[in-house]
Every structure is written in structure tokens, then in C-alpha cells.
Chain A
Amino acid sequence: MIFPILSFIVATPALAALLLVFLPDEAKTAIRAISVAASAVALAGSIYVAQAVMALGPAQFHFHERYPIIPSLGINYIMAVDGWGASLMLLTGLIIFAGSVASTTLENRPREFYIFLLGLVAGVFGVFVAQDLFVFFLFYEIAVLPMYLLIGIWGSTGKVESKGPFAWAMNQLDVGGKEYAAMKLTLVLLGGSALILAAMLGMYFAGGHTFDMGELAKASIPPNLQWWLFPALWIGFGALAGLFPFHTWSPDGHAAAPTAVSMLHAGVLMKLGAFGVLRVGMVLLPYGARDWAFTVGTVAVINILWGAMSAMAQKDLKYIIAYSSVSHMGVVLLGAATLTVNGWNGAMFQMFAHGIMTGLFFALVGLIYDRTHDRWIPHMGGFANIMPFIAVFFTIGGLSSLGMPGTAGFVAEFLVFLGAWQGPHAWWAVPGAVGALITAVYVLRGIKDIFWGAGPPPQFAALPDARGAERVALVVLGTALIVFGVWPRLILDLIDAATPLYLSAIVATQAAGVTP
């Protein structure tokens, strides 16, 4: 038997979390060391898998593992990885490594924090390599649920004024509090999960009583059933990807969440949603994807513009980044909706690029907030004079987010827009590109307001720049943004080889004519 590398990568953080359960609270150094070591192992494993898949051929699945769980119901533990999975594992490895390094400065209950964090990461890795829908869903929920506690316990509370036609409801709910944010996030995502579960069962029964995704791809689920199942998956998974209008959990959730949680959540978890739409919704339901593509793409365009315009009006640093995530996830969904090779390559690449970029952003915002205990941009200014290191990396992240060539963001956006232009609705590319322009406006204005100007306000004059472990996290993520932006083929070759195969089923439906 070959070494089960995929299960090993999934299990490493989970076992580390288990180990932490038995450690005393006081052993903070050991706790941190174990967590960082586990994420380093996971990162090394992901790098190994990525290069192995590249060498073995990213179009096929490798490192198969298959154990029956409930044979009578056709539920198996199936793990395998191709170019798509490998690229997203690499992303997860990078983010969790940077995230756990960045969290070593956390003083409030680090043990519990790392337990949840590592558990969550195990789930994320599992989603990217599970090839059985049941196991996929299981990992998905493992990844999503710890968020409630992570925000509810370690989060921070802001204040939102009750106004507008629904002020009565806002008064009743304590909008802006961390418990509110955690609750809203969890309920919206669970609502999505309910839809996913229903659609999964539909696929199970219509697809020949199996959850094996390889089998389901070959099973001919009737096109009219697909027409009903697809939107359930799109909205269900989409809710996690910040799909308009189900995205409002994201700004409040990310604003309330602690640094590493925001990093992971915006960096990786939102990608689970988009990956679900693409890998489960579109690949397994090609007719549904074809018939709903126009809606998916148009809503994605709204996502891009809505997120960007909303971000521009924010004065709270975390809200800017959170709304920009809504906008950038729209780029992923737009790429998916184009149903073209370039669009899908771009969608996958944007998941990767945006994951690293948002991870970097939230790490930086966390560093700034740790120092200032203030997220209100008008209170800031001239920070480049006291924290040049943070300023440089914030600028790198900002440039990637506005699609500057030489950073990963450009490659992703260009491919998505190219795919959009080649797809049936070329006009999608135009608002998409305008979204990048709006991003340039609010990101650069933010950089100017925070970092430029003569000296920081007096109350912030003595704040230190990033140090030791904090710098490690920033350098890992910032370098990745530039390396993958300059030479995108490091990842893109993995993705590109697998994409045409996934797309082939949809291409076939296009010849098959309209669903009755």
C-alpha cells in the first residue's frame, strides 16, 4: 500500500488539535510550537502533492484512497487529487502556515483558539481532496462550524447605528456585536447547507444511489431535475462565497473576527463556497450550469460592482477589506459562469490569488488593529513613517487587489475577463473591468489615508513596526503574490490541464439543445 499522503495532510492539523486538548492552558509555547509545526507539515505536504501532481499529470487524479463507510448506502471515504485540488491545497497550506505564525502573538486562550483553527483547516483540506459527495459535505461542515465559536469568543464588537426602514429589527438584534456577527454568519451558512443537502440527496437518488463524484459525473441526471438542483447548490455554496444578496454576513463577520480567523475565512473558507459551485454544481450538473449560466454571471457582475462600490464608502478598515472580498469573489463566480477554459482557469486562479491577498490584508489589518485598537481610517495617517514594513506589504496587497500586473491578481482578473469576452455574454467583461478601476480608487485612497501624510497622530506616535513572527507571515504571503503573478504557470499549469476535462460535460450539453 502506498502512503496515504492526502489523509495524512488532512489528519495532521486534526491530530495536532487533538493533542492540544490534552495540554494545559499554561503551556503556551508548546501550544504555539505544535500548531505552527502542524501547519508547516501541512504546507510541506501540499507543496509535495502539488509538484507530484504536476509531474504525474494534473489532468488525472492521483493518490487514490478508498475505504467503504456505509456500503449499503454507497457512502465511501474517497480521496484523490488532480490539478484543481492540488492548487487549492497549496493555497490552504500557505494561508494556514501564515495564519498560525501570525497568531503566535495571541494571548487570550491560545489553546482553544488553535484547536478550533486546526480543526477548521482539516475540514478545508478535506473538501479539496474528497471525491465522495457525502465526505465532501462532512468536511465542508467541519470547516464552517468552528467559525461560530471563533468569532463569538475571540471576536471584537463594533457599533452600528440603527436607521432605515428596518431600524426596529436592528434595535432588537444588537447589530454590530460579535455575537450578532457570529450568529448571522452561522445561520446564513447553515441555511445554505440545508439547500446543499437537499440538492445532494436529489443527485444521490437521481444519479444511481451513489455519492462518488466520479460516478455522479457519468450518471445522467435528467436535465429538468438538474434545472431545479443547480440553483440550490449555487445559492447554498454561493452564500459562503459572498453571493449577492446573501453576502451581508461577510462584512460584519469579518469585521468582528480575530486576525487569523479573518485570514482563514476570507482567504480559504469563502473559496470553499466558490469551489463547491464550480466542482459540485457546474461539473456534476452540466445542464443546470448551462441553463443558469446567464443568471450566475449577471449576479456575479452585480457582486463585483456592489462589493466595490460599498467598499468605497466604508471608513472602517476591516469593512473595506471585507467588502472588497465580496467584490473579488464575484470575479471567481463570473469566471465560473463564463463556461470557458480561460474563465475557469481564471476562477481557480482568482481563488488562489484572492486567498493569498486577503490573507495578507487581514494579517496586516490585524497588526494595525493590535497596535492602535482602532479601525477607523480617519483616525489614522502617516503610518508609513512608523511602520514602513507594514506599509510596503499593504501596498503589495493593494496592488494585487486592483489587478496590477506582476501580482497574482492581474493574471486572475485578466483570464476571467478574457473568458467572459469569449463566452456568450461578452458584456460581462466590461463591468468586471470597471470593478477593478473602482478597486484602484478605494484601495489607493485607503493607502494614502492610512500610510501617507506627515507623521502619525500623537496617540499613535510610538507604535512599533511588524516584528519577528509577524514579518514571516507577511513575507510568505507577499512573496507568493508576486511570484505567482510574475510566473503564473507555477499554478496555472496545474489548473489548466484539468479544466478542459471538467468543462467537457458542459461543452457536450451545448450541443444537446435546450432543456424542455
Chain B
Amino acid sequence: MNLFNAGLVAVFAPLVAALLLFVVQPIRYNRHLAGGLSALGALASFAASLTLVALRMGGDPAPAIYESTWLPEAGRSVATIGMHLDGISASMLVVVSLVALCVQLFSLEYMETEPDADFGRYFTWQSLFLFSMAALVVAPNILQLFAAWELVGLCSYLLIGFYYKKPSAARAALKAFWVTKFADLGLLIGLLVQYGAVGSVGWDPATVTAMQATGSVATVVAALYFLAVMGKSAQFPLHVWLPDAMEGPTPVSALLHAATMVAAGVYLIVRAYPIFLAAPSVMLAMSLIGGFTALFAALIAINQTDIKRVLAYSTCSQLGYMVASLGAGGLFGGYFHLATHAFFKAMLFLSAGSVIHAVHSNEISHMGGLSRKMKLTTFTFITGAAALAGLPGLAGFFSKDQILEALLEATEHNTLYWAPFLMCLATVGITAYYMSRVVFLVFFGEPSEHAHHASEGGIAMWAPLLILAVPSIAAGYFGSAFLRLTGIEGEFHVNHITPVGGLAFALAFGGIGLGYALNVLKLGAGLGTALKPVADFIEYGAVDRAWLAGYRYGMLALSRGFAWTDRYIIDGLLNAIGASVLSIAEWVRGLQTGRVSDYVYVVMIGVVCLAAWSQLVSLAGGVQ
């Protein structure tokens, strides 16, 4: 299979599945066909992506671009639609399709209790999502990336709102769409600015050189693109939609809201990196916002009582790492962390799904002692948590180390980078703390009454967990191969512990020790309780409320003003004109009384007036 065909299969196999499911009702309503077709699409996409990687590893390092004009402007092309196949897009396709495949297999059992129609709908959106995400990954320019970006946002909206009968899910879906759509204004306007300035929507060297030559264009464009990234990749203060997005089914949270879709923002930065490099001030802002998000979200995660919300905030936090790294010039670290995080976070979410499936609750307090009943899930969750915390040897350790190294290196030419570096470093310890807290509370200690009858799911549930465990453990050892495949400049050493790595390692262990002390030994139990109101205030009292107030008292109130003015002033004036014409007509009609005497009076008055007038005229003539 050549590159082009492999790319086609990777992108379009899921689309074929989605279209068949969407159009042909009998397929959609047959749960074996629906689930099977969707998983088959994901499997084909995964196989084709692996082929792509194999072809890219051996072949020519230059990207292979296949494109065709999508929008014409006086015969020439404004933008193309097509595929940009290189090491970066091929590796991302593997990540996306593998996680999607695992999630879909898992869903076969997890969603079993749904009615046929909903089951089919679920897999339709799953397939549509995989297509959209693949189209985003292979986009040859920012316009196609933007189009696919909106489509994955649509799938996110549809899947968050999967339980559309539930008001909280409906609200969460709207919130996710609105917040990200608001941020997407940045991408849209950025595209206009870029095209207006240099007549191209690409990120090729010629375009970037032209942007640098036109003064501040690169800075403006990069800043606008970054606004969209903040929405999609849930950076403070646009992260508010992500925790609420947990209203969707857990496998959806694993695929869209942890591993792939939310990483689209990071992927945009990776793709359009030359543009960002040309805007140093935006890079610094990225690093600061990323670092702050990492720390802030980790702090919020400490006190969450819902296992999915802990993971959601941890996703925010890890995305913050990636963004901070990219802002500091750490392209490889940021992108590598995207890949490793996708694997272990998807595994964590699916493990959480397995737990939720067993105890029928998201609340951590309803779990406990599950290690005795669900050994496999305990293993995968702890592995994922350890990878997330950055314990040595696991995938997260290597990628996080790359990030911290990059941030430290950036401090050498700009001391302001100390801020993101320190925030990210502190987050290592906090992450280890909140993950160990979840592990201790969920899998150890005394089981709650909900947890008594918990048991491991079937093969469709545990097999994907095991598949994902492989890269979560081993991905770090393929760092060098990954570096070669993507063609990013950088260094990678598996068996070389840096001072920063050692420090992070110490912090992680400190965090776990603290987690053990506070949650198992119950030392200083009052501390968490005392901090909770503070954290809740920051999150729900301030940030979330500010958005809500902006919507309710800004937009809605304003719209009522507009509608009132439209109805009662603008249309009112038109009505006033109409009514006045009617009134005048009414009055004029009153003159036609039909009584002869009235007419005689008018005639006599007229005669008198005329006589007076002629008299006046002759007098005036006389004076002259």
C-alpha cells in the first residue's frame, strides 16, 4: 500500500462507517452491526496509520502533500483540501486511531444497557469523530484544520449531550460548544488576518517568512490562534467547559475529553509551530498560561469527590504542561507528552469507567477497597496514575522530563520562564498527591456499600485496558524512534537522569507520601476539608460564575434590549407612519360632509379670501 492509499483509508474508513450508520436506519438499529461497523472502521484506520508510520520511517523525510482546490478566487485557489502526510501526522494518526479503537471496543460493553437506537447513535458519532479528528491531523493547511476542528467540536457537543434527556448533560453540551466556539473566533479571525496579509492559509516556510517580513502579523496571528487553542485545550480561564463535559459517557470522556480532541489545540501549535516561533511574546504568554493552568487545575483536582472530575482537571493540568513546553521552545517535549498522555489518560479514564460500571456511581466515597474485587482495573489504574505522576520508567516520566528540561533551558535567555518552570515543577508533586489520593481511596481501605458487589467487566472492557497499558508503560523507550519519525530537532536519552528529572522524581515521591499520610493514615484530615471552600470558591464562585453572569446579564439582557427596540421603536415608527396616514385620511374624509350648506360656506370663504388677496396685490402694486 502506498502513502496516498494508506492516508485515504486512515481518514475515510471511519467516515464510511459513520455515513452508513447515519443513513441506513436498519444498520444503526442493529447493535451488533452498529458497534461492529464502527469498530471495524477504527481498526482499518489504525492499520492504515501503522502502515503510514512504517512508510514514513523508511522513506523520504519531506512531507507528502496531496491536495485539491476547495475554494476558488478568480480561478486560483484560496485554500485546498487534502492530506499532509509526514512523521508528525502519521504518529498522531496512530495515537488517535489506537485510542479510538480501544475506546470503541470498551464501549461495546460499557454502553450495553442503552436502547438500540441510542446505541447506534453513539457509534455513529464515535465514527464521525474519528473521521473528523483524522481530517484534522492530516490537514495540509490551517483552513482545513479549522474545519475539522469545528467538526470535532460538533462531535464533542453531540457526545456530551448523548444523554440529552438529562438537563445537566444538555447544559454541559451547550456550555462546551459556546465556550469553544467563542475561542474559535480567534482561529477564524486569525485565518483572515493571515490570508489578508500573505495570501496563504498554510504554515510552509515561504508563508512564515512572508509573515515575518510584514511586521507584527505573525504576532497577531499567533495570538489569535492561541485563543482558539485555549478554548479547545482547556487553558485557564477558558477551561470551564471541560469538567462539565464529564456529563458524557465515560468512554467519550476518555477519547475526546482526555486523549485526543482536547489535544487538538496542542496539535495546532505543533503544526503551525513556525508561525508561533516568529512571535516570541506569544510564546512567553503561552508558557505562562500553560504553566498557570497546570498548577491551577492540579490544585482544584485535590478536593474533587467525583473520580471523573479529578481526571478532567488533571487533563487540564497536563494540557497546561504541553502548552507551557511549546511556549518555551520545547516542541518535542510538548508533542511527545501529547502522545504519552493520550495513552495513559485514556487508560485511566477507561479504568475509571470500569469502576463506575461496577459501582454505578462517580463518587469516590462510593468506592473503596476495589483492589480485591477488580485486580486488573486496579493494575491499569495504578499504572496510569504512576505514569501521570511521572514515576521513573513509565511513559509520563520521559515526556514530562523533556518539558521541564525545555522550560529550564528557556530561562537561560529569558528569566521570566522561571515562572512556568516553577509552576510546572510544583505541579509534579501536586499531581502525585491527588492521584495517590484517588488510588488509596478507590482501590484500598474499606469498601463502601456500593462497592460490595463490584466485579471486573467482560473481555471487551479489560482487553482495551491491557492494550493501552503497553504504550503507557513502554512509550518512553521509543522516544528516540519518535524523534526520528517526526523529524523534530532535539535529543532524547532513556537512561540519563538529569538533575531536573531527579528533583521531579523526589517531588513525585513526596506527593505520594503525602497522599498516603493524609488519606490512609488520616493524618491532618482537617487540612483538605479546610482547603475545599477556598478551591470551590476559586473554581465555582469566581471563574464559572463570571462566565455565567456574562451570558445572563450581558448577552441575554442586551438581546432583550435589541428586540424591544426593534419591536417598539423601529417597527413602532413604521406603525406610527402608517397610523398617521390613516388618521390624516380619516380627517380629510371629514371634509367631505355631503351637506350643501358646508360647501357653500367654503365657497364663500374662498371668494372673500380671493378678493382680499387681489386687493392686497393691487395695493402693493400701487406703492411701487
Evaluate contact between A170 and B575: CB separation under 8 angstroms.
Answer: yes
- Given A309-B563, A421-B193, residue A187 in contact with residue B73 (CB < 8 A): no
- Selected interface stretch from B177-185, B206-214, B281-289, B394-402: B177-185
Whose C-beta in chain B lies nearest to the C-beta of A388?
Answer: B117
Docked pose: A445 CA to B164 CA in angstroms: 13
Evaluate contact between B195 and A418: CB separation under 8 angstroms.
Answer: yes
- Given A166-B568, A385-B165, residue A433 in contact with residue B188 (CB < 8 A): yes
Q: Which of B572-607 contact A (CB under 8 A)?
A: 572-576, 578-580, 582-583
The B interface, classified by DSSP as helix, strand, loop or mixed, is: helix
The answer, yes or no, to whether B75 is at the interface (CB within 8 Å) is yes
Contacts of A385 in B (CB 8 A): 165
Docked pose: A442 CA to B563 CA in angstroms: 13
Q: Which of B534-562 contact A (CB under 8 A)?
A: 551, 555-556, 558-560, 562
Evaluate contact between A169 and B575: CB separation under 8 angstroms.
Answer: yes
The answer, yes or no, to whether B174 is at the interface (CB within 8 Å) is yes
Contacts of B567 in A (CB 8 A): 160, 164, 248
Q: Which of A112-141 contact B (CB under 8 A)?
A: none
Q: Which of B150, B560, B571 contacts A405 (CB 8 A)?
A: B150
Evaluate contact between A440 and B178: CB separation under 8 angstroms.
Answer: yes
Docked pose: A163 CA to B566 CA in angstroms: 12
Evaluate contact between B74 and A499: CB separation under 8 angstroms.
Answer: yes
Docked pose: A441 CA to B182 CA in angstroms: 10
Evaluate contact between A248 and B75: CB separation under 8 angstroms.
Answer: no
- Given A313-B559, A453-B164, residue A166 in contact with residue B572 (CB < 8 A): yes
Interface mask (B179-219 → A, CB under 8 Å = 1, otherwise 0): 00110010011001101100000000000000000000000
The answer, yes or no, to whether A173 is at the interface (CB within 8 Å) is yes
Whose C-beta in chain A lies nearest to the C-beta of B201?
Answer: A418
Evaluate contact between A399 and B154: CB separation under 8 angstroms.
Answer: yes
Whose C-beta in chain A lies nearest to the C-beta of B173?
Answer: A448
User: How many A-B contacts at CB < 8 Å in the complex?
Assistant: 168
Evaluate contact between A405 and B181: CB separation under 8 angstroms.
Answer: no
The answer, yes or no, to whether B70 is at the interface (CB within 8 Å) is yes
The answer, yes or no, to whether A508 is at the interface (CB within 8 Å) is no
The answer, yes or no, to whether A287 is at the interface (CB within 8 Å) is no
Evaluate contact between B178 and A444: CB separation under 8 angstroms.
Answer: yes
Evaluate contact between B188 and A417: CB separation under 8 angstroms.
Answer: yes
Q: Which of A345, A421, A434 contacts B195 (CB 8 A)?
A: A421
The answer, yes or no, to whether B498 is at the interface (CB within 8 Å) is no
Evaluate contact between B150 and A404: CB separation under 8 angstroms.
Answer: yes
The answer, yes or no, to whether A148 is at the interface (CB within 8 Å) is no
Docked pose: A381 CA to B566 CA in angstroms: 28
- Given A164-B572, A169-B579, A440-B181, residue A448 in contact with residue B146 (CB < 8 A): no
Chain A contributes a number of interface residues (CB within 8 A of B) equal to 72
Whose C-beta in chain A lies nearest to the C-beta of B551?
Answer: A441
Docked pose: A430 CA to B69 CA in angstroms: 26
Evaluate contact between B563 and A164: CB separation under 8 angstroms.
Answer: no
The answer, yes or no, to whether B459 is at the interface (CB within 8 Å) is no
Q: Which of B104-157 contact A (CB under 8 A)?
A: 117, 143, 146-148, 150-151, 154, 157
- Given A313-B563, A445-B174, A455-B165, residue A417 in contact with residue B578 (CB < 8 A): no
Please indicate which of the listed interface residues B173, B189, B556 has the most CB atoms of chain A within 10 Å of its own CB.
B189
The answer, yes or no, to whether B621 is at the interface (CB within 8 Å) is no
Evaluate contact between B74 and A496: CB separation under 8 angstroms.
Answer: yes
The answer, yes or no, to whether A406 is at the interface (CB within 8 Å) is yes
Evaluate contact between B164 and A452: CB separation under 8 angstroms.
Answer: yes
Contacts of B189 in A (CB 8 A): 429-430, 433
Evaluate contact between B181 and A187: CB separation under 8 angstroms.
Answer: no
Evaluate contact between A248 and B150: CB separation under 8 angstroms.
Answer: no
Interface mask (B157-180 → A, CB under 8 Å = 1, otherwise 0): 100010011110010011001100
Evaluate contact between B576 and A166: CB separation under 8 angstroms.
Answer: yes
For the complex with contacts A342-B78, A345-B72, A496-B73, 8 further pairs of A-B residues with Cβ separation under 8 Å are A165-B569, A167-B568, A173-B575, A188-B574, A248-B566, A309-B559, A421-B192, A451-B164
Which residue numbers of A lie inside 8 Å of B, CB to CB?
160, 163-170, 172-173, 175, 184, 187-188, 245, 248, 251-252, 306, 309-310, 312-314, 341-342, 345, 382, 384-385, 388, 399, 402, 404-406, 410-411, 414-415, 417-418, 420-422, 426, 429-430, 433-434, 437-438, 440-442, 444-445, 448, 451-455, 488-489, 492-493, 496-497, 499-500
Could you list some 16 contacts between A and B, CB below 8 A? Answer: A163-B568, A164-B572, A165-B572, A175-B575, A248-B570, A248-B574, A309-B562, A388-B117, A418-B195, A418-B196, A437-B181, A452-B164, A453-B170, A488-B71, A489-B70, A489-B71
